[in-house]
Amino acid sequence: MRDVAVIGIGMTEFGEIWEKSFRELVAEAGIKAIMDAGIEGEEIDALYIGGMSTGRFIGQEHVGSLAVEVAGLEDLHIPSTRVEAACASGGVAMHQGYLAVASGMYDIVVVGGAEKMTDVVGGEATNILASAADREWEAFFGATFPGLYALMAKYHMHKYGTTQEQLAMVAVKNHYNGSLNPKAQFKRRISVEDVLKSPMVADPLHLLDCSPISDGAAAAVLAPLEIAKKYTDKPIKISASIQATDTLSLHGRKRFDALPAAQHAAKLAYEKADIKPKDVDVAEVHDCFTIAEIIAIEDLGFVEKGKGGKATEEGLTALDGEIPVNTSGGLKAKGHPVGATGVAQINEIVLQLRGEAGERQVKEAEIGLAHNVGGSGGTAVVHILEVI
Ligand code: COA
């Protein structure tokens, strides 16, 4: 297997973007990444694009072909594949792109992710998202994603004494980081009191404990490490790209205080990259709800199981903390156009490792990690990226 590098990144602003269509978002992110990599369209060998439920959100399937057309690459007839793994669609698309380059099958691969969620009304978005849970045994009986993560939050609070204030501190931190990110959906700073006073969505999760409904797209260009320097002075090596699975349903799991698929992916990723959790300088984790970030930093081994709330309270994951987490604002504040999220996380880690993250730059960041989850943990993808 060959070593693989990210040689270009690009993304749109995330938010409620009514003035741009799905195809315009895909084109914008893709063109930005291609220009960033300094490649010609003719050099692209393949395309993978993450999209969770384009058919139900905007009535558009067959997104692989659409992406080729909007990029003007139709005469090349390159393979272009849409990848679906719920909210981990972007992360799994990255994994597919990585495998394609690592295997030697292709040299230059563009990975994208996109979703346009705000064209449907709120209740319909919740119902579409619930199709990533077990429709027959969870969603049919009224379970929604806020509801499923609320169960995990209740269990974590009961077992480890995690508090509502500690959950709220995740949102406060990520909104602060989002205020430093021009592409974030929410740039307003909030307080713990704001979170606790916001409407209850699914006890104990308030509105400000939830990631929003968002539109947006992100892209990255991959190449074999050995030729990456031809394109950029700052190639970022993908030291590990690991995908793992678990039960689709939450009730099918052996434990509720962790996402075993994420733990498994993280363990294999650390082995592959030959690093320990403490070596990670910056991480983007899947904070679809505040409890999800607390569970993620435990699953990734940044802190012991059960200590995620306390660690957040003590500032371990703050921008100036020991392991800054979700410097982009995370799903919570940057936004969560589900198919795009995994690729947007890679965008942030690459910016950080290149030293181009502006006001939210983490000093001397050399190793970054991205953790992307589908559903309540049925899919997890962990990428470790490194400055070379
Ligand atoms: N964080 C911060 N602010 C939010 C927000 C969020 N998650 N969701 C909505 N808002 C803001 C809106 O911008 C709006 O502000 P304004 O009045 O200043 O314009 C206000 O809150 C009301 O917005 P609205 O769209 O009416 O909210 P809603 O009640 O329809 O939806 C949620 C709120 C939390 C239910 C919705 O964002 C949601 O379902 N989130 C979870 C998404 C999800 O499950 N993703 C998959 C994860 S696995």
Q: Where are the domains of the chain?
A: 4-121+214-236, 132-212+238-387
CB of 214 sitting under 6 A from ligand 1? no
Same fold, 4-121+214-236 and 132-212+238-387: yes
CA 127 to chain centre: 21
pTM of the model: 0.98
Active site residue 286: no
CB of 87 sitting under 6 A from ligand 1? yes
Q: Which CATH number fits domain 4-121+214-236: 3.40.47.10, 1.10.1370.30, 3.50.50.60, 3.40.50.1110?
A: 3.40.47.10
Q: Given the CA of residue 122, which atom of ligand 1 is nearest to it?
A: 30
- In sequence order, what are the residues at sequence separation of 6 or more whose Cβ sits closer than 8 angstroms to the Cβ of residue 183? 11, 12, 13, 14, 328, 334
CB of 280 sitting under 6 A from ligand 1? no
Hey, whose CA ends up nearest to atom 5 of ligand 1? 212
Show pLDDT as tens, one digit a residue, over the chain (388 residues).
999 999 999 999 999 999 999 999 999 999 999 999 999 999 999 999 999 999 999 999 999 999 999 999 999 999 999 999 999 999 999 999 999 999 999 999 999 999 999 999 989 999 999 999 999 999 999 999 999 999 999 999 999 999 999 999 999 999 999 999 999 999 999 999 999 999 999 999 999 999 999 999 999 999 999 999 999 999 999 999 999 999 999 999 999 999 999 999 999 999 999 999 999 999 999 999 999 999 999 999 999 999 999 999 999 999 999 999 999 999 999 999 999 999 999 999 999 999 999 999 999 999 999 999 999 999 999 999 999 9
C-alpha of residue 104 to centroid of ligand 1, in Å? 43
Reference 178, options 131, 154, 211, 137; nearest CA is 211
Instruction: Please tell me which residue in 156, 206, 286, 336 is annotated as part of the active site.
Output: 336
Q: Given the CA of residue 132, which atom of ligand 1 is nearest to it?
A: 48
For residue range 297-325, what is the model confidence (pLDDT) as tens digits?
A: 999 999 999 999 999 999 999 999 999 99
- In sequence order, what are the residues at sequence separation of 6 or more whose Cβ sits closer than 8 angstroms to the Cβ of residue 258? 295, 298, 299, 305
Reference 184, options 347, 26, 296; nearest CA is 347
| Residue 270 tokens, joined | 């650390």
| Residue 3 tokens, joined | 């070593």
Q: What share of the chain is helix, strand, coil (3-state, %, to 5)?
A: 40, 20, 40
Query: What gap in Å lies between CA 388 and CA 386, rounded to an integer?
Result: 6
CB of 129 sitting under 6 A from ligand 1? yes
Q: Given the CA of residue 87, which atom of ligand 1 is nearest to it?
A: 48
362: amino acid identity, one letter: V
145: amino acid identity, one letter: F
Active site residue 336: yes
Query: What gap in Å lies between CA 183 and CA 7, rounded to an integer?
Result: 20
Specify whether the CB–CB gap between 83 and 342 falls below 8 A.
Answer: no
CATH architecture assigned to 132-212+238-387: 3-Layer(aba) Sandwich (3.40)
Q: Give the mutation target among 177, 211, 248, 289 for probing the ligand 1 site: most ligand atoms within 8 A of CB.
A: 211
